[in-house]
Chain A
Amino acid sequence: MPNDRILSYGDALHEALHQEMALDDSVFVLGQGVDDLKGQYGSTLDLHKEYGPDRNFDVPIAEEAITGVAIGAALAGMRPVNVHQRMDFLMVCMNQLVNMAAKYHYMSDGQVRVPMVVRASIGRSWGQGPQHSQAAYPFFMHVPGFRVLAPTTPHDAKGGLIAAIRDNNPVIFIEHRLLYANTGVVPEDPFEIELGKARILRKGKDITLVGVSYTVTDCLRAAGLLALMGIDAEVIDLLSLAPLDSETVLKSAQKTGHLVVVDNTWTLCGAGAEILARLQEDASGIKVKAARMGYAPTACPTTRCLEDAYYPGPVSVAQKAAVLMGADAGDVPTDVERTELEEFKGPF
């Protein structure tokens, strides 16, 4: 059978859960609303009908305890997948995640482990505002013990979730709201992507654009705009934030001589900050002109006109790249479509 089946990002996540739950009865899903009629963008839809109500269940609005319950189950050898409708809610879980999940294995010198997945939605769509849009991945990149994964394509959503479930560590799994409806080729059989590897999505020779989750789509669109100016951009989906595959990024940047990292959060202490630091520390002596982008350094506004100024987008990424290349930002075409953004109508 040819490997060209098309699936949405949300359906790819569903298929990953479905297949892992069939393969391994230690896998179960818990989270607010996972067994409701929406099933977290379809990703958990009806799993309880297939695998029973104790393997895909709704939970009280008690994020810290539920995270702790998942950790305890993982200590006992289960592989819980704890789903959060917003990554902002992980702030309520930080004690359990940072002090417990990330510490148990190390402080027991390997006697116990915590194989759990924490799925969390991030990002803009429209009007999500300051408490429904945050992508707090730098907090987790900072703490040893976590793996942090932010897949962009449906392929990596499926292969990444399966890899996360099978991994023996707590994995923070980040899903951007605007990606669920995106479609792409997804192999039908279960498969794992390699955790800790970035993915080059577009080859180019002049400049390297690096994105995280949805900002990868900004980078791809920016590459299209830059192509109109005769600038050939390479686009890298960072994919894994911890471990951070700076090797792939630095190799590309040293080839192109130019690098823009577009964080899906604030730039301060973000992935871009870390990559640029590693670039500075690199001993190769190869000079790279580098810049980073991300959210404006404010809380996220709700109204669309301010949102547009707050988030990086294809045009602002292309402009940053053009300037880095010595071109004029004013020459960057501004005609770009983002249908997933325009078509999003909520209410979620």
Chain B
Amino acid sequence: MAMGTSSFDVKRAYYLERTIRATEEKIAEIYFTDKVKSPVHLSVGQEAIAAGACTALGGDDVVFSNYRGHAHYIAKGGDLNSMWAELYGKANGHAGGKAGSMHLVDTKVNFMPASAIVASAVSNAVGYALALKMRGSDARVVCFHGEGAADEGVFWESLNFAALKDIPILFICENNGYAIYSKQQDRMAGKSIPERASTFGITASRADGFSAQAVYGAVSKAMAALREGAGPLMIEVNTYRWLDHVGPDDDHPGGYRPQSDLEAAQAIDDIPRLAAQMDADDVARIDAQVADELAAALAFAEAGDFPDETALGRNDYA
């Protein structure tokens, strides 16, 4: 099977982070035009996690994401053209306009439909991993969720079942500290999420979510363990969402999140740090490539037709 790169690929990570950042900044820039026909949950500032994690995966590995899923989709190899068309609600979107931003899906790269209900896909990811185990497959499942998922009962039910049945799956907890404007410590009693996960017998660790290289290292190690037969694993990565929970704006002026936290996160932004490790020519070449691909994707979306009404009842039943 196709495995991830055997060592951290700075250029690949830079390319992915730049693509995600450019895509989401473009969404924010044009959002006022209403061309993007759905709510958007941007992950500007969180790109290093998706880029680091997904470059540690093989093509056959399966990703479950969530409504903040643009970064995961792009990093897993999703098609940028059909993603943009989907955001535009066009027929040439990967789900013909039925998914929009919150339910990105591309089974060609084993990216399962993302869910807009917090924590709900976690149990689905566990079930998928159970099926792979029953089938004796070498592929593994990675489930991205926020720290807010741990507010939900089904999250812990799912962890219990995964541990009980020794199901090989990696939970990546992207902890950006907030559910909309609610701080984690205002919502959760008790110990940290990894500490609580470890009480189920799940090996839970932490990685620096501001560094694709650190995430790549942690996820590579976890995937190797899963392929060797380890049961469920969790990695909590700290991160910071630069923009509002939903929509294109900066919410810091609203006063719920301190401006100083944003500035601290921006000071350790992974994109310039990766660029600093690369030849200037490579940076320029990749920047140009990203700009070209984004322009092509926008053109693809612009050129697409809206679905006609016959699409309404299509795929209501399998």
Query: What are 17 contact pairs spanning A and B, CB under 8 A?
Result: A54-B134, A62-B154, A62-B157, A64-B157, A65-B160, A71-B127, A72-B126, A72-B128, A73-B128, A76-B62, A78-B134, A100-B115, A108-B95, A108-B98, A112-B105, A112-B113, A168-B317
Report yes or no: B317 in contact with A145, Cβ–Cβ below 8 A.
yes
Complex-state Cα separation, A80 to B317, whole angstroms? 18
Task: Collect the chain A residues with CB atoms within 8 Å of residue B124's CB.
Answer: 68-69, 71-72, 75, 100
Task: Collect the chain A residues with CB atoms within 8 Å of residue B185's CB.
Answer: none
Report if A330 contacts B (CB, 8 A).
no
Q: Which residues of B contact A (CB under 8 A)?
A: 62, 94-96, 98-99, 103, 105-107, 112-113, 115, 117, 120-132, 134-135, 153-154, 157-158, 160-161, 164, 314-318
Residues from 57 to 91 in A contacting B, C-beta threshold 8 Å: 59-60, 62, 64-78, 80
Complex-state Cα separation, A306 to B208, whole angstroms? 63
Contact status of A64 and B153, CB under 8 A, knowing A28-B134, A77-B131, A109-B314: yes
Complex-state Cα separation, A54 to B128, whole angstroms? 14
Across the two chains, which residue of chain A brings its CB closest to B113? Answer: A108
Task: Collect the chain A residues with CB atoms within 8 Å of residue B107's CB.
Answer: 108, 111-112
With A69-B130, A105-B315, A113-B318 known, 12 other A-B pairs at CB within 8 A are: A62-B154, A65-B158, A68-B122, A69-B123, A69-B126, A73-B128, A76-B128, A76-B132, A100-B115, A107-B105, A109-B94, A147-B317
Task: Collect the chain B residues with CB atoms within 8 Å of residue A115's CB.
Answer: 318
Report yes or no: B105 in contact with A69, Cβ–Cβ below 8 A.
no
Q: Which residues of A contact B (CB under 8 A)?
A: 28, 54, 59-60, 62, 64-78, 80, 95-96, 99-100, 104-115, 144-145, 147, 168-169
Closest 8 CB pairs of A and B: A72-B127, A68-B123, A65-B157, A76-B131, A62-B157, A72-B124, A69-B127, A168-B318
Complex-state Cα separation, A32 to B135, whole angstroms? 23
Interface residue from A73, A99, A105 paired with B131 (Cβ < 8 Å): A73
The interface centre, meaning the residue of B99, B121, B122 with most chain A CB atoms within 10 A of its CB, is B121
Interface residue from A73, A95, A108, A169 paired with B317 (Cβ < 8 Å): A169
A123 to chain B, nearest CB (A): 28
Complex-state Cα separation, A80 to B134, whole angstroms? 12
Interface residue from B113, B135, B157, B158 paired with A111 (Cβ < 8 Å): B113
Report yes or no: B126 in contact with A65, Cβ–Cβ below 8 A.
yes
Task: Collect the chain A residues with CB atoms within 8 Å of residue B161's CB.
Answer: 59-60, 62, 65-66, 69
A184 to chain B, nearest CB (A): 30
Interface residue from A68, A77, A105, A145 paired with B126 (Cβ < 8 Å): A68
B67 to chain A, nearest CB (A): 12
Task: Collect the chain A residues with CB atoms within 8 Å of residue B164's CB.
Answer: 60
The interface centre, meaning the residue of A80, A100, A147 with most chain B CB atoms within 10 A of its CB, is A100
Task: Collect the chain A residues with CB atoms within 8 Å of residue B135's CB.
Answer: 76
Across the two chains, which residue of chain A brings its CB closest to B86? Answer: A109
Complex-state Cα separation, A64 to B123, whole angstroms? 8
Complex-state Cα separation, A284 to B317, whole angstroms? 29
Across the two chains, which residue of chain A brings its CB closest to B307? Answer: A109
Task: Collect the chain A residues with CB atoms within 8 Å of residue B127's CB.
Answer: 68-76, 80
The interface centre, meaning the residue of A69, A106, A169 with most chain B CB atoms within 10 A of its CB, is A69
Task: Collect the chain A residues with CB atoms within 8 Å of residue B121's CB.
Answer: 68, 100
Across the two chains, which residue of chain B brings its CB closest to A61? Answer: B157
Task: Collect the chain A residues with CB atoms within 8 Å of residue B132's CB.
Answer: 76
B242 to chain A, nearest CB (A): 28
Task: Collect the chain B residues with CB atoms within 8 Å of residue A113's CB.
Answer: 318
Report yes or no: A106 in contact with B315, Cβ–Cβ below 8 A.
yes
Across the two chains, which residue of chain A brings its CB closest to B143? Answer: A72
Task: Collect the chain B residues with CB atoms within 8 Å of residue A145's CB.
Answer: 316-317
A117 to chain B, nearest CB (A): 14
Report yes or no: A108 in contact with B125, Cβ–Cβ below 8 A.
no
Report yes or no: B115 in contact with A99, Cβ–Cβ below 8 A.
yes
The interface centre, meaning the residue of A80, A105, A110, A111 with most chain B CB atoms within 10 A of its CB, is A111
Task: Collect the chain B residues with CB atoms within 8 Å of residue A71's CB.
Answer: 123-124, 127
Task: Collect the chain A residues with CB atoms within 8 Å of residue B315's CB.
Answer: 105-106, 108-110
B123 to chain A, nearest CB (A): 2
